[in-house]
Amino acid sequence: MRRTRWHVPVAEILAALPAPDGSRLAPVFDRGDVSVELYAPRGRDEQRPHERDELYLVVAGAGNFRCAETRVAFTAGDLLFVPAGMEHRFEDFGDELVVWAVFFGPQGGYGVG
């Protein structure tokens, strides 16, 4: 269930994970063309490409991030961008990984440029 809130404490959302279905993703905000989810994968990140452009804001943890054929190291505080439809995933991360996932814009995204 997506909800619009004025204050979203990370600790409160993490305490609710995993969801009853085992998901490590918690939808927390939805307004206009912006949706925000808290993502805390464990073990493997098995995401599939998304239909909208996406930003990840790394709250905690470090590892590598693959977007198409590009692989970069990341750490807490980093921002990662993924165009709509692009293969991507977190790799080589520990159980402390927590990221805000911000989806925005139209279906199909704004393009890579």
What structural domains does the chain harbor? 10-104 (2.60.120.10)
pLDDT (tens digit per residue) in 49-90: 999 999 999 999 999 999 999 999 999 999 999 999 999 999
d(CA 76, CA 84): 23
Would you give the DSSP letter of residue 17? P
Q: Which of 41, 58, 47 is nearest to 101 (CA)?
A: 58
d(CA 93, CA 45): 9
pTM of the shown model = 0.89
d(CA 69, CA 112): 14
Lookup: tokens for 49: 């490409």
CB 50 within 8 A of CB 39: no
Residue-level pLDDT at 91? 97
CB 60 within 8 A of CB 98: yes
pLDDT (tens digit per residue) in 23-38: 999 999 998 999 999 9
CB 29 within 8 A of CB 78: no
